[in-house]
Homo-oligomer: A and B are copies of this chain.
Amino acid sequence: MRKDVHTDGIPVLCASCEARHRGVCGALDPEQLVALARTSHKYNAGSGTELVGDAEQVDSYANVLSGVVKLTKTLSDGRQQIVGLQFAPDFLGRPFKAESELNAEAATEVSLCAFPRASIERMMQDSPELERRLYRQTLKELDEARDWMVTLGRKTASEKIASFLLMIARNIDPNAEPDSSSARFDLPLTRADIADFLGLTIETVSRQLTKLRADKVISIENNRQVIVPDLGRLEARAGN
């Protein structure tokens, strides 16, 4: 009983899903995809919705299908730090641990495809390919985290802002003309979020954005829409 891997037997839900191409579901054959799709459900969440609470029991994982999810940690006196941002088609979840050590919150409108933790963990047993994809994403996240440690520990406020804008541009520039030297995108984060991401205050973020604007490195429309006419000039400010 032969099947065309690319179309036949693929659940409707998954047919056009990006997670099947670049995300972890790409590791699954049609049969496994059907099994997973049976227990999964797609849903949307508005900006600000808490998806996973700190110290909470986690019983489902998810793929990010669109939007941005922020992962945060909070000190007892309320100081907060964003420790990760997840874009489509990232996998959201921490295998081998039932209790979350951090908070996951929708930074924008998000669309998620959730499935029970047990389904994935069972499937990981059968499919080394799935486990390998998850492992690779974790390695990528670790690489990113280490890059951010340099930014947090050693860059100035203005370098931090430039680095942040570059990172966002690379992750969500919609007119993804490769190697285009300009970019235009919506900031998925508020000033407060950016501050929490960079270890700064809201005021400093605002002042540095104003400075970049004054120096014509960027322009901003409606507080959210950022235009970078020359990515090279922005890179020069990121201090790498």
Contacts and interface: CB of A to CB of B under 8 A. Distances in A.
Contacts of A94: 139
A171 interface: no
B135 A134 contact: yes
Nearest to A134: B135
A221 interface: no
A101 B153 CA distance: 18
Contact of A142 (B73, B81, B142): B142
A136 interface: yes
Contact of A198 (B80, B81, B153): B153
Given A81-B154, A102-B146, A152-B152, 15 more contacts: A73-B147, A75-B155, A75-B240, A80-B154, A81-B149, A95-B139, A97-B139, A101-B143, A131-B135, A138-B138, A145-B145, A145-B146, A149-B149, A153-B199, A154-B199
